[in-house]
Amino acid sequence: MPRPVIGLSCYLVDAEWGDGVVMSSLIPQWYVDVIHAADADVLVLPPENSADVLERLDGLVLAGGEDVDARIYGEPSDPTADSPVLLRDASELALYRRAKDLGMPVLGICRGVQLMAVAHGGSLIQHLPAVTSEVVHSTGPENYVDHLARFLEGSLIASLLGTEPFVVNSAHHQAVDSPGDLRITGWAQDGTVEVCEDTAAEFCIGVQWHPERPDRRKPDAPLLRAFVQAAQAHQRSSGRSGSSLNSTR
């Protein structure tokens, strides 16, 4: 059986190249590395890709990044929110919904869990410091803060990481408010949502922290291994006979 192929969403940002600043589809190599380390291959999915590409893949990772546009869930944007990246929002929502149609394993990371909640009819807290000061979830861009989380007994995340207080890393000012019809299965010490799951799916989970970071490779390895194992199972059930993206199912 070939290694499963994971679709990985990415940023749409201005980046400096040899001929100037150009809008670019980019992803930190850490995301690719952590999927490779879990024994899967990676296909980076730029915004505007057809969501039908997932029919030739085995799993979907929704990467972190900018705030989801609040207008998608019917609220005005908070002044602290990032400038909306409408193309990325639309693309990832389409990818997620197609993955759900296909019964494909999904792992959402930071922005990813927030987008999952919005896709399920939920909403977001747009500026956490306005509602909680018990836990610091961010001290600025690219500054990761460690704090404790707890997981619901009997949940998927608890089966992988246990029910004892677990150290996670935060770098976010928004968080899930309402999960829609997802189930909240993990919380920070101040009650901030850390994990959401679709309990009707074989493997569909979003985490608010960043398991792709190099310092998280050991503690979060069970989560990544389980995701790749679910992708392998999806590959078998879908009948994909080879690792080529041109293979038919």
Q: pLDDT averaged over consecutive 10-residue blocks of the chain (249 residues)?
A: 95 91 95 97 95 97 97 96 96 98 98 98 96 84 87 98 96 96 97 97 97 95 98 91 44
Choose the catalytic residue: 110, 120, 197, 204: 110
* Domain-embedded: residue 29: yes
Amino acid identity of residue 90, one-letter, is: A
Q: What pLDDT does residue 241 have? A: 53
* Domain-embedded: residue 244: no
* Domain span including residue 96: 5-122+194-238
* Domain-embedded: residue 147: no
* Domain-embedded: residue 188: no
Number of domains, the chain: 1
Q: What pLDDT does residue 141 have? A: 66
Question: Catalytic residue at 110?
Answer: yes
Sheet holding 204-207, edge to edge: 41-45, 5-9, 59-62, 106-109, 204-207, 193-197, 183-188, 145-151, 166-170
Choose the catalytic residue: 120, 137, 173, 210: 210
Question: Catalytic residue at 210?
Answer: yes
Question: Catalytic residue at 120?
Answer: no
* Domain-embedded: residue 166: no
pTM of the complete model = 0.94
Choose the catalytic residue: 92, 197, 212, 234: 212
Is the alpha carbon torsion for 198, 133, 31, 161 positive or negative?
negative
* Domain-embedded: residue 187: no
For 106-213, where are the alpha helices, taking DSSP H only? 111-119, 156-161
* Domain-embedded: residue 127: no
Q: What is the CATH number for 202?
A: 3.40.50.880
Q: What pLDDT does residue 239 have? A: 83
Q: Is residue 23 classed exposed, middle or buried when 0-12, 13-18 and 19+ CB atoms within 10 A define those classes?
A: exposed
